[in-house]
Structure formats: structure tokens, C-alpha cells
Amino acid sequence: MEKRPGGAGSMADDSKPLNFIQQTINSDLEAGVVDKVVTRFPPEPNGYLHIGHAKSICLNFGLAQQYGGDCHLRFDDTNPEKEEDEYVQAIIEDVQWLGFQWSGDIRYASDYFGQLYEWAQYLIREGKAYVCELNAEQMREYRGTLTEPGKNSPFRDRPVEESLILLESMKNGDVDEGLMTLRAKIDMASPNVSLRDPVMYRVKKVPHHRTGDAWNIYPAYDFAHGQEDAIEGVSHSVCTLEFASNRPLYDWFIENLPVPATPHQYEFGRLNLNYSVTSKRKLKQLVDEGHVDGWNDPRMPTISGLRRRGVPAVAIRNFCDSLAVAKTDGMVDMSQLEHFIRDELNTNAPRAMTVMRPLKVVMTNLPEDHLEQLQAPMHPNLDMGNRTLPFTREIYIDQNDFKEEYSKKLNKKLSPGKRVRLRNGYVIEAIDFVKNDSGEVVQVNASLVPDTLGTDPADGVKPKGVVHWVSAQHCVDCDVYLYDRLFSDPLPDAGDKNFLDAINPDSLQILTGCKTEVGLTDAEAGQPYQFEREGYFCKDSKNSSAERLVFNQTIALRSTWVEA
């Protein structure tokens, strides 16, 4: 697995100022508040991870790396209605693919269900929790508003022993869903709505993907995650800004339970990317309604989608490292992510030639059995070696590289009486062309200009352009999936917009009958290549087979978008 020093926010770069979390950690270490930094990445396994999670992964694992501490991978699997083992496995793969390794075993909230239940009983005995029989609608009515205080539940002062017995009945499955909850007894008049007697347990008679039918009640996230941090000795519990209003509740549970440690929560601004949605609920809707080809559709902002599209893990890490770790949310332009993708691929992606829209060219002055093995570099960095290009009498070029009539505007195209250079090959001159019954050009007859391999023609008539090509006899058929941004609106779900209305109808174009170099027959899925003059592509991990070779466009050579 790839190892990496430093972490999010370019923490290994001493020239950059420390972010507020690093400043806090430094102060805690200097003051002896903590002697070891322990962070955690706590995804709920109710969907696939997206680019926003990548920032959190890089931050939490990066902090642990920087300070020589530990980062735990812990699944907060407290809601069996929405969680699946498929999501667990996908998240594990994503974290590892990004280049990180957690400390110790993978951890789960469900590992602590027994301890959490005992602490719930403890709070009841301390007079700080009670079983409530208000239904959901009544509970909303009693909670109050942002400007008006709530009012106490009529069950708030029920006897301790009665609440203990009812909680046990809830656990044993003797209480139907929706009839009872366990609530913390805090302050119904608190200006912070999170402290108005929050629910700690609900009855859910749903099998859990790890514990099966062992439990009929499940802890609320707000009750579970702070105590999980305490059990694991997490020193700095870093989460996104939407949890800031929940921090007083996080602290209340820590202060009122006999936990083995006292972790603290810190919030940073989440990553919002334009031309995208990062709500797991909305991403799931795209999948469930068939708008995309699954969670790993290359148009999705999921980590698995980016991987299938051929985006290198290091490009995602470099992108996340470039982002501010601040106490405010912000919107990041898609072009910033695309910059890091292009930068990495330009530096490291091997080159190849693929003709998307093949047009046959016949060199009439070569024998029919002509076969010559030309050498071409794998990359401008010559240390990456060479590849072999079979050159034959018949080749394919792209239809867009031939024009029936010459014009000064299109003087780099092949046209009758004009010359172009074949990339890494000879200069050719078009003679004439053949059309089919529909009036389409289906063949160009040309002449190879002798002695022009690596040098200009002896007659001094230089070619104006360079075109890519493949041998007609020695090439491989393939399909190419051209991807664009999934949404045409930079803010597809802002305000009261229906994000589905912003789906870009041209986000996928499938080209069949393309021709590529024979060397790509055994390309590894996900291995990026630069198709010269076309963009960056990789073999698709899902649709490719022994009978059908499919390449996904990772990104164009340059952006064609005009940003809003």
C-alpha cells in the first residue's frame, strides 16, 4: 500500500501556516493535556463515500501521521434500516485505495452496544434519563421552536425503576416501534434545541448486518459517538461543521457518564463541490432511480466512481491537501479538482493512440504486405521506455483530421494535395478519397513521403499538422465512454431546486467501433493512459470483458467549460 508523509492541509509543508486543529493539538501536547494524538474516521455505512469524505479521511489520517499517533476506522452502524455490509466493504476499499491504513482492527459502534446499554441504565438511575411515550408528532410539538422553549414530557418524572423496566422491555422486543423512546433529561428550555431531552434509544425491530436479531433498540448517533470516542481513547474528535450545535450534547454525555476518557469534538468546514451533489440521500436516489450506472458510475462524485473513471488516488489527496481546514463552509470549483487530476496524469500517464472515429487511409505507394515496427516513447519522460507501433499500408486516422477541401482555417488537416505527419511516424500526402452511397468519406488514398521518419521531406514541403493513427491490420476494437459533468448547473441542489432537473443530458456519450493500439489489449482496469490528442482514459473495470474492450474518459486534455 502506498505510504505518504504529512496529511490534509499540506501538514508536512512547514511553509504553510498551521490550521486551527493543528494549533489546538500543539497546545494540548505542550500543556500535557494529551500525550498521544488519536483521531478517527467514523462513516455510517449507509452509502458509498464521496469526495467530501475524502477531505475528512485525509485530514484525520493526516493528523495522526503528522503527530505519530493513531487513526481509527470506525463504522457508526447504529441504524440498521439503512446500513448494509456492501457499504462497509466499499468504504474499506476506498480508504485503502486512497493510501491510508487505520490503527488496529476495524471498529464498529455495534461493538459497544452492550456498554452503551449499561450507560443508558446508569443515566436512568442517576435521574438523567427516562422512558418517554410521546409519539413522533407529539415530541415535535413538545420540543418548541428556535425562538420558543419546549415543554416537559408528561413522562419526564416517571419513577426510575419504571423506566428501567420499560427500557428492558424495549430491548427484549416487547414494545412496538414508535411507542416508546429513551430520552436524556437535560433542559427543555435550552436555547440549543439539541439539549431539549434528546432521544437516546428508539425501538427498531430490524436485523442488524453484524448483530442480527440480538437487539430491538438501537442508540442514537448523538448518544453513541462521543462514548465510542471515549472507549477508544480518541483525543481529537474531528467532524464537519453541521455537528457544531451538537457539541454541547457530546460534552454533556461525556460529563455525566463514567467514561474512561474525555475526548473533545472539533468542527471544520465540509467540502462542497460545484456541479455536484454530496448528499448520500441524493446520490442514492440517482442510483435507485437509474439516472446513473450504480454508486461507482464514473460521473458520480463517489470515491469509487472517481477510481473507476481513472482518477489517481494521489490527485485526490493533493486536491484535499490544497483545501483550507477552516471553521466555515465553502464552495470549491470543480476546475480545482480537475487541475490536480490533469497535473498528475500529465506527469505519470503512459501515452497511447486511439482513433475514436476511424477513417481508413491507404498508402497506395506501399505494398499490401508492408509491415514496419516503429518505436515511440511511452511518455515524454524517456525513462518510461518505448512502445512498438506496427505500421502498415492501411491505417486509421480520425474522421475529424480529414477535410475534402483545403482551407487556411483548417490547414492542419489532411486534404487532397496536402500533407500531415503521422504521430511518431512518416509524412503522408492525400491524393483522393472514396465516398459511400450516403455521401460519407469512407477511405482516403494517400502517398507516403519517403525518408520522412523523424525528419522533414527532402523537397522542403513541410506538413502543417500532426495526426494520430493506428494500423488497420494491427489494432484492437474498443468502445469509448466520453464523460462530462453530471450536472449542468453549478449549484444543482441549492435552495428549492430539484437537483434532478439539472442532470446534464450530454454527460455520457458512447463511441463504438473505435480503434486502439494492440498494446492496450491487456491494459489493467483503472490504469490511466493519455490517448494522444484526445485526453486521459482508462480501461473500465465493469463493462470491459475478453470480448469487449471499454475505455472511460477520465478527463479531457483541457477544460471546455466556461465557469458560471
Judge whether residue 444 has pLDDT over 50.
yes
Residue 6: predicted pLDDT? 41
Question: 91-105, 166-180, 350-364, 409-423: which range is least confident on average?
Answer: 409-423
Q: Into how many domains does the chain fold?
A: 2
Residue 7: predicted pLDDT? 42
Judge whether residue 203 has pLDDT over 60.
yes
Q: Are residues 249 and 116 in the same domain?
A: yes
Q: Are residues 142 and 263 in the same domain?
A: yes
The pLDDT confidence band at residue 4, using thresholds 50, 70 and 90, is very low
The pLDDT confidence band at residue 254, using thresholds 50, 70 and 90, is very high
The pLDDT confidence band at residue 14, using thresholds 50, 70 and 90, is low
Mean per-residue pLDDT, 168-172: 98
The pLDDT confidence band at residue 409, using thresholds 50, 70 and 90, is confident
Judge whether residue 561 has pLDDT over 90.
no
Q: Are residues 396 and 266 in the same domain?
A: no
Q: Are residues 147 and 25 in the same domain?
A: yes
| Residue type (1 letter), 270 | R
pLDDT tens figures, 82-130: 999 999 999 999 999 999 999 999 999 999 999 999 999 999 999 999 9
Q: Measured over all CA atoms, what is the biggest interatomic distance in the chain, rounded to whole angstroms?
A: 104
| Residue type (1 letter), 294 | G
270 is catalytic: yes
Distance CA 97, CA 58 (A): 12
pLDDT tens figures, 487-502: 999 999 999 999 999 9
443, 473, 503 - which closes a domain: 473
Name the DSSP class of 368. Answer: T
In a domain, 42, yes or no: yes
**Which residues, including other chains, have CB under 8 Å from residue 501's CB and lie 6 or more apart?**
none
Annotated catalytic residue: which of 4, 44, 299, 403? 44
The CA radius of gyration of the chain, in Å to the nearest whole number, is 31
Query: CA separation (Å) from 494 to 242, 331, 351, 498?
Result: 17, 12, 40, 9
CATH number assigned to the domain comprising residue 79 = 3.40.50.620
Q: Are residues 259 and 361 in the same domain?
A: no
Quote the percentage of the chain above a pLDDT of 70: 97
Annotated catalytic residue: which of 107, 171, 247, 280? 280
The pLDDT confidence band at residue 11, using thresholds 50, 70 and 90, is very low
Judge whether residue 175 has pLDDT over 70.
yes
Mean per-residue pLDDT, 25-41: 97
Report which of 48, 29, 2 is spatially closest to residue 295, judged by C-alpha positions. 48
In a domain, 259, yes or no: yes
In a domain, 330, yes or no: no
In a domain, 506, yes or no: no
In a domain, 202, yes or no: yes
125 is catalytic: no
Q: What is the dihedral of CA 452, 455, 457, 458, to 10 degrees?
A: -110
Q: Are residues 100 and 211 in the same domain?
A: yes
Q: Are residues 255 and 128 in the same domain?
A: yes
Judge whether residue 142 has pLDDT over 90.
yes
Judge whether residue 9 has pLDDT over 50.
no
User: How many C-alpha atoms does 517 have within 13 Å on its Cβ side?
Assistant: 23
In a domain, 338, yes or no: no
Give the predicted TM-score (pTM) of the model.
0.92
| Average model confidence (pLDDT) across the chain | 95
151 is catalytic: no
Judge whether residue 8 has pLDDT over 70.
no
- Neighbour count for residue 442 (Cβ, 10 Å): 13
Partners of residue 282 on adjacent β-strands? none
Specify the pairing of strand 508-517 against strand 354-355.
antiparallel
Mean per-residue pLDDT, 518-539: 96
Quote the percentage of the chain above a pLDDT of 90: 93
Q: Are residues 238 and 113 in the same domain?
A: yes
Residue 330: predicted pLDDT? 85
In a domain, 532, yes or no: no
Q: Are residues 172 and 49 in the same domain?
A: yes
CATH number assigned to the domain comprising residue 411 = 2.40.240.10
Judge whether residue 484 has pLDDT over 60.
yes
Residue 410: predicted pLDDT? 82
Residue 563: predicted pLDDT? 53
Query: CA separation (Å) from 326 to 196, 240, 329, 512?
Result: 29, 10, 8, 46
pLDDT tens figures, 63-88: 999 999 999 999 999 999 999 999 99
Q: Are residues 54 and 176 in the same domain?
A: yes
273, 290, 317 - which closes a domain: 273
Range of the domain at 166: 20-273
pLDDT tens figures, 305-347: 999 999 999 999 999 999 999 999 889 999 999 999 999 999 9
Q: Are residues 168 and 262 in the same domain?
A: yes
Annotated catalytic residue: which of 151, 156, 204, 270? 270
| Residue type (1 letter), 60 | N
The pLDDT confidence band at residue 219, using thresholds 50, 70 and 90, is very high
Burial letters 503-524, b for 16+ CB under 10 A, else e: beeebbeeeeebbbbbbbeebe
Q: Are residues 90 and 225 in the same domain?
A: yes
Judge whether residue 146 has pLDDT over 50.
yes
Residue 420: predicted pLDDT? 97
422, 456, 473 - which closes a domain: 473
Judge whether residue 431 has pLDDT over 50.
yes
Distance CA 229, CA 237 (A): 7
In a domain, 369, yes or no: yes
